[in-house]
Structure 1
Amino acid sequence: MTPEFSSVMTSLDLLSAAFIVLIGLGLLGIVILFIIDISQTKDAVRHNYPVVGRFRSIFSKLGEFFRQYFFAMDREEMPFNRAERDWVDRAAKGEGNTIAFGSTKNLKVPGTYIFVNCAFPTLDEEAVDMQPVQIGPYCPYPYNAPCFFNVSGMSYGALSTPAVKALSHGARMAGCWLNTGEGGLSPYHLEGGCDIVMQIGTAKYGVRDAEGKLSDDKLREVAAHDQVKMFELKMSQGAKPGKGGILPGIKVTETIARIRGIPVGEASISPNRHLEIKTTRDMLDMIEHIRSVTGKPVGVKAVIGGSEWLEEMCVEIHKRGMESGPDFITVDSGDGGSGAAPMPLMDNVGLVIQEALPLVSDILHKYGLRNRVRIIASGKLITPSEVAWAIATGADFVNSGRGFMFSLGCIQAMRCNKNTCPTGVTTHNPRLQKGLDPEDKAVKVANYCKNLVEEVQTISHSCGVLRARLLGRRHVRVVKDSGHSVPMNLLYPRPEILPEYKDQAEAMQPLDE
């Protein structure tokens, strides 16, 4: 063997050894990262997809750079854009929620709302803390609701066990209520000690008898929990107005089947409407019955399409007496929600909240019932400006589902109906659920709620009022097709109260002074 050949072989051996060492170090690094990722519970994606899940964070950060040159900006994603999701993420983590270099929002797009700041804004020391608002003045057990921002109806079944636990604990920490959704009251809703709104869907899950009819005994059993403050009769929901709830069979576990009173593994399909309710009078009868059995406030949730039934309801309430009406109406938006739904219903049926909310508020005002019936707005309202708009338009409260899902770690993977949610929020796969630590996520739920409320109050102070509920339509301008804005109180002027109802309206306690 020549010296030259020996030298070449020695170099190759060294290179081979170095390559093997590098491969070994790389594999060791991957093992270490795997152990770190699968052991932590703050990031569900990294926990459920060790090592590989790290690329999501890397690509998200790189995306900000690449979008400047090649791709869409933050405001162009659907159904929630990156700017909105990033705001929720920062709020949930309790991080500073300021941005640099100006707004990325196109303020000349028709429909954009702009708050009218005051020349002499409210000083911090002059501001008044959020005040409780009473719901159900004619009930034996009215509810003094402490917070104007709350968790919308999302069923246990649609959401995972750790997700519901986190929402329950987080809602208690934030001082807001948690709506059960139509899937019934589970032990996980009660676990955190928060206030609860029990939703009754068309299938009566959780309060049904063996034949699927409303059971007074089950109603009393649920109402016996001090935490259950109100009952919500769901007439329709944003994801699928005109169709009942849909829970795929793969998500109907033994626990869910027991809570709902249905067979294990079979798809849970609710009727299109309550079989007992064929008219507005039937609806009021049902509300009065539930209230008489439970002693607690009862309201309805509906997507608004035709509004004739609302006017019929108002006339009927005046015939029967003020105590007969719903204690609240939850106005849902027709552009979808977290639930599984046929695309035609999600895309093209029902008014969006921007049109439905002023319509409902004005009808109640016209019939002198605005101070009798509280209004809850629901539907894609996840940021402070959207919540402040809803309050200014006529809502007493705002519910959010997907906003709180983002605070739990949802990454908008669009797999809510497939039992493969990568963050553990909407899956019953035990492996995927492990990435969602209820204790950690409860803090983020509470942070999100508290920070949103604080920033809504900041908007109200900028407009010169002492607290958020004093915002009105005069404080908002809406951008029109011309690119110029007009005052919302001119775009949606309050109607006059009908003369025959003025005396009764004046006798009612004002909402907020």
Structure 2
Amino acid sequence: MHSDSVVEALAIAFIWVIGLAALAVVVLFIIDVSQTRDAVRRNFPVIGRFRHLFTELGEFFRQYFFAMDREELPFNRAQREWVERAASGKGNTIAFGSTKNLQPVGTPIFVNCPWPTLDEDAVEAEPLLIGPGAAKPYLAPSFFNISGMSYGALSKPAVRALSMGAAKAGCWLNTGEGGLAPYHLEGGCDLVFQIGTAKYGVRDREGRLSDERLKAIAAHDEVRMFELKLSQGAKPGKGGILPAAKVTEEIAEIRGILPHVASISPNMHPELGSKEDLGAMIRHIRRVTGKPVGIKTVLGAYGWLDEYFEWIAAGHDEEAPDFLTLDSGDGGTGAAPMPLMDNVGLVIRESLPMVVDLRDKHGLKERIRIIASGKMVTPSDVAWALATGADFVNSARAFMFSIGCIQAMKCNTNRCPTGVTTHNKRLQRGLVPEEKAEKVGNFVNGMRDEVGIIAHSCGVRSPRGLKRFHVRIVCPDGRSRAMDELHPAPVRQS
């Protein structure tokens, strides 16, 4: 008797479920045929809704099931997995051969030496001095460092992890344009303070550069350099974008802005309109802070840079930037307009040789250090940049991968599932800074080691020994040519 009652109850429940489902379908049908915003749903009520569902889910299914290891953009599975292995301290060996296609035009191929460097003869890349004319120049110990990512764009635990990890690895951490947060200082690492067009963290009430705030930032021993951002690769000609959902009370206080209001930076520094203006601002910031000052830009038009270097070489040494961070036109950010992200700015593969040659042509190699940035994720990327002439290499998204980013493409929504770019406390809980800091340190050390492996294969003792003649570039005819042939050293102007 008891079993009959159970069966009867289940039957009634099943009928209710079917009835509710049928009712839901009817309601959705009425809503779809009545609405006027979506033609697919209006013409194909209820089933038209699956189009949006599959479109949303397609991104994630491709990431895990359908895209080949080297297909996905902006970063493919092979790149992400290399970062994960390095960050976890795992070995770098793979089986059965490479999945990388070496035939596409522009692919760099390193030329191995018949007598490679023995392990016992290898040396670490030596530190380089930045800002010899500053009161407090910076002897930068690492050729691989963390690029600008603001607190606000990144979460609190993400910034803490990067700060502690950078200290473990002995590299610098760029604050991004969002100001100096306590979490940047927490790890005790070397910091580069970035000054964006909105002057976050160093602005007065009117949004102008404040000498008093500059001095306060420079008073922190951890802050080693200042970087004046002219533009970045994902949005050249557009200022920073921080959605209102990310502008918390704390972030607003750090930046000097209103809370819970979207923060849109100007698309340029209003006080800059010429090379003389730029030189004057660099000189002023260096004098106020006593520390090296550089600029960050993505190259588009380049005639101005040639003129600027020529002007510096003609007797304006105090107006020279101590370093130039060159971003790539395919750089990344949490929020940017698609027309800029997709179409504006030269990629680093083209712009870096040009900028290095322009600097060297005017005899400024020891005066202005060049930092390459933009999709520098794997050892081959970093080794290519050093061989091309960069003094340092920065990476941002690679470090996001190292602390758990899965390329969910939700950075601008405040719903990052890994806690890296969200201020949702529940989602942040998954990111444990102390554990991720170890991964940051492992990643930097793994990068240095494997760039060293490439250098030793080419017959040089240190990564800084890599030169253009160590690299060949695949050309449209299918053959490779030496990079020093494609980009010969410039004739220095007297």
Following TM superposition, by how much is the alpha carbon of 1:414 offset from its aligned partner in structure 2, in angstroms?
Answer: 0.4
Partner in structure 2 of residue 6 of structure 1: none
Following TM superposition, by how much is the alpha carbon of 1:73 offset from its aligned partner in structure 2, in angstroms?
Answer: 1.8
Partner in structure 1 of residue 263 of structure 2: 268
Contact 1:336 1:347 in 2 (8 A): no
* TM-score, structure 1 normalization: 0.84
- Of the three residues 75, 78, 81, the one matched with 1:83 is 78
Partner in structure 1 of residue 52 of structure 2: none
Partner in structure 2 of residue 442 of structure 1: 437
Partner in structure 2 of residue 394 of structure 1: 389
User: Does 1:311 pair with 2:322?
Assistant: no
Contact 1:388 1:468 in 2 (8 A): yes
Contact 1:252 1:266 in 2 (8 A): yes
Following TM superposition, by how much is the alpha carbon of 1:130 offset from its aligned partner in structure 2, in angstroms?
Answer: 2.0
Following TM superposition, by how much is the alpha carbon of 1:147 offset from its aligned partner in structure 2, in angstroms?
Answer: 0.2
How far apart, CA to CA, are the structure 2 residues paired with 1:469 and 1:340? 35
- Of the three residues 111, 127, 146, the one matched with 1:132 is 127
Partner in structure 1 of residue 148 of structure 2: 153
- Of the three residues 73, 84, 92, the one matched with 1:97 is 92
Contact 2:87 2:443 in 1 (8 A): yes
Partner in structure 2 of residue 291 of structure 1: 286
How far apart, CA to CA, are the structure 1 residues paired with 2:193 and 2:433? 22
Contact 2:247 2:261 in 1 (8 A): yes
Contact 1:136 1:327 in 2 (8 A): yes
Partner deviation per Cα, 1:262-315 (whole Å, 9 max, x = no partner): 000001100010011011110010000000000100000000001111112112
* Secondary structure at 1:74 match in 2: coil
Contact 1:152 1:179 in 2 (8 A): yes
Partner in structure 2 of residue 232 of structure 1: 227
User: Does 1:193 pair with 2:188?
Assistant: yes
- Of the three residues 473, 484, 487, the one matched with 1:489 is 484
Equivalences for 1:205-284 in 2 at 5 Å? 205-284=200-279
How far apart, CA to CA, are the structure 2 residues paired with 1:96 and 1:356? 33
How far apart, CA to CA, are the structure 2 residues paired with 1:299 and 1:264? 30
User: Does 1:329 pair with 2:329?
Assistant: no
Partner deviation per Cα, 1:116-138 (whole Å, 9 max, x = no partner): 00000000101111211000011
Contact 2:373 2:395 in 1 (8 A): yes
Question: Runs (4+) of structure 1 moved beyond 6 Å?
Answer: none
Following TM superposition, by how much is the alpha carbon of 1:319 offset from its aligned partner in structure 2, in angstroms?
Answer: 3.1
Q: Which letter maps to 2:324?
A: I
How far apart, CA to CA, are the structure 2 residues paired with 1:203 and 1:462? 46
Query: What is the number of residues matched between the two proteins?
Result: 442
Q: Which letter maps to 2:383?
A: A
Contact 1:239 1:339 in 2 (8 A): no
Partner in structure 2 of residue 46 of structure 1: none
User: Does 1:478 pair with 2:473?
Assistant: yes
How far apart, CA to CA, are the structure 2 residues paired with 1:336 and 1:465? 30
Following TM superposition, by how much is the alpha carbon of 1:336 offset from its aligned partner in structure 2, in angstroms?
Answer: 2.9
Q: Which letter maps to 2:463?
A: A
Partner deviation per Cα, 1:231-276 (whole Å, 9 max, x = no partner): 0000000110001000001100000000000000001100010011
Question: Unaligned stretches of 5+ in structure 1?
Answer: 2-8, 17-55, 501-513
* Secondary structure at 2:311 match in 1: helix
Q: Which letter maps to 2:127?
A: P
Partner in structure 2 of residue 359 of structure 1: 354
* Secondary structure at 2:413 match in 1: coil
Q: Which letter maps to 1:137?
A: P
How far apart, CA to CA, are the structure 2 residues paired with 1:286 and 1:394? 27
Partner in structure 2 of residue 30 of structure 1: none
How far apart, CA to CA, are the structure 1 residues paired with 2:89 and 2:137? 33
Identity percentage over the alignment?
66
Contact 1:281 1:316 in 2 (8 A): no
Following TM superposition, by how much is the alpha carbon of 1:481 offset from its aligned partner in structure 2, in angstroms?
Answer: 1.6
* Secondary structure at 2:372 match in 1: strand
Contact 2:200 2:255 in 1 (8 A): yes
Q: Which letter maps to 1:138?
A: G
* Secondary structure at 1:110 match in 2: coil
Following TM superposition, by how much is the alpha carbon of 1:335 offset from its aligned partner in structure 2, in angstroms?
Answer: 1.1
* TM-score, structure 2 normalization: 0.87
Contact 2:197 2:266 in 1 (8 A): yes
* Secondary structure at 1:450 match in 2: helix
How far apart, CA to CA, are the structure 1 residues paired with 2:315 and 2:285? 16
Q: Which letter maps to 2:165?
A: G
Following TM superposition, by how much is the alpha carbon of 1:324 offset from its aligned partner in structure 2, in angstroms?
Answer: 2.7
Partner in structure 2 of residue 172 of structure 1: 167
User: Does 1:114 pair with 2:109?
Assistant: yes
How far apart, CA to CA, are the structure 2 residues paired with 1:154 and 1:266? 20
How far apart, CA to CA, are the structure 1 residues paired with 2:338 and 2:421? 19
How far apart, CA to CA, are the structure 2 residues paired with 1:384 and 1:338? 22
How far apart, CA to CA, are the structure 1 residues paired with 2:205 and 2:217? 17
Partner in structure 1 of residue 44 of structure 2: none
Q: Which letter maps to 1:387?
A: V
Partner in structure 2 of residue 432 of structure 1: 427
How far apart, CA to CA, are the structure 2 residues paired with 1:318 and 1:127? 36
* Secondary structure at 1:125 match in 2: helix
Q: Which letter maps to 1:393?
A: T
Q: Which letter maps to 2:350?
A: E
- Of the three residues 374, 382, 385, the one matched with 2:377 is 382
How far apart, CA to CA, are the structure 1 residues paired with 2:346 and 2:267? 18
How far apart, CA to CA, are the structure 2 residues paired with 1:304 and 1:154? 20
Q: Which letter maps to 1:250?
A: A
Q: Which letter maps to 1:283?
A: L
How far apart, CA to CA, are the structure 2 residues paired with 1:352 and 1:294? 33
Contact 1:184 1:207 in 2 (8 A): yes
Q: Which letter maps to 1:205?
A: Y
Contact 2:313 2:363 in 1 (8 A): no
